[in-house]
Structure 1
Amino acid sequence: MNRKMLFKLVNDLVMTVLMLIAMAYYITGNMIHEVVGIVVLLLFIVHNFLNRRWYKAIFKGKFNVRRILQIGLNLLFLVAMVLMMICGILISSDIFPFIPLNNDMTLRQLHVQSAYWGFIIMAVHIGLSWGMIINSVRRMTGITGTSPIRTIALRILAVLIVAYGVHSFFEGEMGSKLFIYNPFGWFDNDSIIGFLIDHLAIMGIYITGTHYALKFIQKQDQRVVLKN
C-alpha cells in the first residue's frame, strides 16, 4: 500500500471516530464537543482535498447503478456535513462566542438532525467503498490468499455486529431521532467506550447491508452481460 492510500485510510478512520465522539455531547460536554467538531471539520476538508479528482470526474464515464448510488450518497453526505458544520459554528458558545444570535433553536435542530442523517449516510458511504478498504488492508498486511476458515469467522463476526447493532438501534430509538429533535440524548450509556461500541455496531448494519447489496447488484449485472 502506498503512503497516500494509507494516509487516506488513517484520516478517514480518525474522522469517523471523532465524529462519534462529537455526537456523545451529553458525555463530553460542550467545550470538548466543539473542539472535536473543529478537528472533524479540518479532517473533512483534508478528505475532500485528497479525493478532489472524484469531483472532476463526476460527470465522466458510464453511469451504472453503483456509480449513481455512490454519486448521490456522496453528495448527500457532503450536504449533511456542510450543514452540520455551518450550524455548529453559528451556535458555538465556547470557540466562536462572538457570533451574535437571538434565536438559535432552528439552527440547533438543523445541527442535530444533519448529524444524525450524516451518521447514517456516512455508514452507507463506507459500505460503498468497503471492498476497496478490505483490499487495501489485505495489501497492507500481506494477505494474498483466501481462507475458508477466515471467511466464515469474519462472516460470523459481521452477523454478531449487525445483531448487536440492531439491538442498539432500537434501544436508543434511533429511528425516531432521525426525525424528532433530541439534542444528542441517544442512550443511557455514560461511557465513551460504550457509546462508540453501540454506534459502531449501528454503523455495521449499514456498512454490511450496503456491501452485500452491491455484491448482489454486481452479480445481477454479470448475469445480464453473460445472457447478452
Structure 2
Amino acid sequence: MTVLTLVLMGGNNFFYDAFGESLESGLVHEILGMILFVLWVVHLVLNRAWIKGLLKGKYNALRIVRTVINCGVILCVLLLIVSGIILSNHLFAWLEIESGASFARAAHMLASHWYLIFISLHIGLHLSMFIRGKVAMGVVSALGVYGVYTFIERGLWKYMTLQQPFFSVDLEHGYLLFTLDYIAIMALFAVVMQLVMQALNRYFYIKNA
C-alpha cells in the first residue's frame, strides 16, 4: 500500500515513458488507485473491531491522536475515490458524469497530499514494529531530516492549502530522486509521530506511577 501510494503521488508521470500521453497512462493510474482503495477496504474489514469500538470507552490524549489520524486517512481515501470517479476517463467513463470536474480536481489534489501526511503519521504510530535497532532508526531519522528540506522544496504545503491550483511534478532529476524525496517526507512525519507517541506514553506512565 505504501509503494502504491508513492507511485500514485506521481500522477501519470511514472507511466509517461512507457505510454506517452496515450490512453494507457491514465488508465494505469486509475487501476492502481482502485487497487489501493480495495486494499484499504480489506484493511478496514480486518480491523473492524476498531471501528466498532469508536463510541465505546474513554478517550485520553493517546486515543484521541490515534483516532484523529485514522479518521483522517479514511476521510482522504473517501475523497480520493469519489473525486477519482468523477474525473475518470476510463474505468468509470460509462457513468458519464459531466459536472463537478473542477471541484473534483481540487479535492483530488488536496486529499492526495493530506493522505500522504496522514498515512505517514499512521505508519509512525507503529514505526517501532517495522524499524528495529539503532542503526535502522538512525537511517529513518536521517531521511526525516532530509524530508524537512524536500517537503518545502517540493512545495507540498502549497498543495495542502490549495495555494497551488495545479499539480506539477518535477522529474528533472529522474524518478529515483522523486521517490526518495517522497520517502523522506513520509519518514519525517512517521518519526515525528513516533516521538509524539513516546512523549505521551512517558507522560501517562509518570502520571500513573
When the two structures are superposed, what TM-score results if normalisation uses the length of structure 1?
0.79
Supply the distance in 2 between the matched residues of 1:121 and 1:105 (Cα, whole angstroms). 24
Structure 1 ranges of 4+ moved more than 6 A: none
- How far does the alpha carbon of each residue in 1:42-80 deviate from its partner, in whole angstroms, 9 at most, with x for none? 111111111111111122233221111111221121111
Say whether 1:95 aligns with 2:91. yes
Unmatched 5+ stretches in structure 1: 1-14, 139-149
Per the alignment, residue 61 of structure 2 pairs with: 65
Say whether 1:19 aligns with 2:5. yes
Shift of 1:219: 0.8
Q: How does 1:106-117 map to 2 (within 5 A)?
A: 106-117=103-114
Per the alignment, residue 143 of structure 1 pairs with: none
Q: How does 1:73-84 map to 2 (within 5 A)?
A: 73-84=69-80
Unmatched 5+ stretches in structure 2: 16-24
Partner of residue 155 from structure 2, selected from 150, 173, 179: 173
Supply the distance in 2 between the matched residues of 1:103 and 1:65 (Cα, whole angstroms). 38
When the two structures are superposed, what TM-score results if normalisation uses the length of structure 2?
0.86
Per the alignment, residue 126 of structure 1 pairs with: 123
Moved more, 115-124 or 192-201: 192-201
**RMSD over equivalenced CA pairs, Å:** 1.9
Number of residue pairs matched? Answer: 197
Per the alignment, residue 47 of structure 1 pairs with: 43
Supply the distance in 1 between the matched residues of 2:58 and 2:93 (Cα, whole angstroms). 48
Q: Which amino acid aligns with 1:197?
A: L
Supply the distance in 2 between the matched residues of 1:192 and 1:96 (Cα, whole angstroms). 29
Q: Which amino acid aligns with 1:94?
A: H
Supply the distance in 2 between the matched residues of 1:93 and 1:221 (Cα, whole angstroms). 51
